[in-house]
Structure 1
Amino acid sequence: MSLNLEDAVVKNLERGYLCSESVIKGAAEYLGMPWEHLPAIATGLGGGIGGTAGVCGALTGAVLALGLATGRNAPDQDFYACAGLVQELVDRFRERFASTDCVDVLGLDLRTDEGRIQAMAKGLPNLPCKECCLFVARYIAENTSPSR
């Protein structure tokens, strides 16, 4: 497990990045693949895919990160190297948090004014988002190798 990756993800959260952005940005740096546009790629995943309360942004950000680390760049490359890790992560995440949906993990519905107000008042680092981000960061660190 890499405390540097976990620290980077939490630092990103504290700086105001969404959970999905925090995970992909931290993982890309950990993997030696920093790119200034990576948080933007993950923005639409925050709040359970665009604030719809669907699949957790930390989880979807981690799926992107696993793709960076183990994904294919050509059709003839192995799909299952990445897919197997994603399937295992989703299963472990569901086991740990009882759901993969943001609304269930947060206990707040970000589609409502009340849910958004409560979430903003608490701040992402103080919501279950931090625990979710740390969980996926540990999984990424345990199952990938930094390029540096």
Structure 2
Amino acid sequence: MNRVEKAIALHNSGFGCAQSVISVFCEELGVDPVIGQKMALGMGGGIGRSGEVCGALSGGVMVLGLKNGVSSMDGEANKTVKEKVYDLDQEFLKEFKERNGAIRCNDILGFDMNDPEARTVAKEKGIFSRVCNGCIQNSVEILEKMITR
């Protein structure tokens, strides 16, 4: 299975969008996948079902931080790396928005993630498996292109 297939399989088994995205990059980036999954847990539904930033996007931003971040407390080195990562985040966000039409979970899904009844309707219509899996696929594909540079 390739990364996209693994991420979608994770999502279909019950993991959130962010968890599914970060999980398939963790080992390569020296992070225990369980730690990545725990870090990304609250990102589901656009951050705790608030309908805000899509979890597949949030997971991607975390991957870029893991790949490019520093652990040094050196302020200048951190500042330089931070600027690089922010630029990468903007590039990632732009392509994600182009592919998915929006960056907010509610806008992408067309449902209010904070409304239990709306979530039920979305689930019954297969929105999460269809639309969310598409966002996960797009996120992983964009990241694969970006992290190999």
Instruction: Give structure 1 regions of 4+ aligned residues with deviation exceeding 6 angstroms.
Output: none
Measure how far apart 1:99 and its partner are.
Answer: 1.3
Find the aligned partners of 2:40 and 2:109 in 1 and give their Cα distance. Answer: 19
Rate the CA distance shift 1:119–1:128 in 2: closer, same or farther, 3 A. Answer: same
The equivalent of 2:17 in structure 1 is: 19
| Higher fraction of helix | 2
Aligned equivalent of 2:91, options 88, 91, 94:
88
The equivalent of 2:106 in structure 1 is: 103
Find the aligned partners of 1:116 and 1:29 in 2 and give their Cα distance. Answer: 32
Structure 1 runs not aligned, ≥5 long: none
Aligned equivalent of 1:10, options 5, 8, 14:
8
Aligned equivalent of 1:138, options 137, 141, 144:
141
Provide Cα deviations, 1:32-75, integer angstroms capped at 9, x if missing partner. Answer: 53342211111111100110000100000110011111122224
Find the aligned partners of 2:118 and 2:27 in 1 and give their Cα distance. Answer: 32
Q: What TM-score, normalized to structure 1? A: 0.86
Q: Counterpart amino acid of 2:86? A: A
Asked if structure 1 preserves the Cα contact closer than 8 Å seen for 2:95 and 2:142, the reply is: no
Provide Cα deviations, 1:99-142, integer angstroms capped at 9, x if missing partner. Answer: 10000101111111222112333373x23110100111011111
Larger radius of gyration: 2
Question: How well do the aligned residues superpose, as a CA RMSD in angstroms?
Answer: 1.8
Aligned length: 142
Stretch moving more, 74-83 or 134-143: 74-83
- Kindly report which structure 2 residues correspond to 1:26-105, keeping only aligned pairs within 5 A, or say none: 26-74=24-72, 75=75, 76-77=77-78, 78-105=81-108
Find the aligned partners of 1:127 and 1:107 in 2 and give their Cα distance. Answer: 13
Measure how far apart 1:91 and its partner are.
Answer: 1.1
Asked if structure 2 preserves the Cα contact closer than 8 Å seen for 1:110 and 1:116, the reply is: yes
SS at match of 2:47: coil
Q: Counterpart amino acid of 1:53? A: G
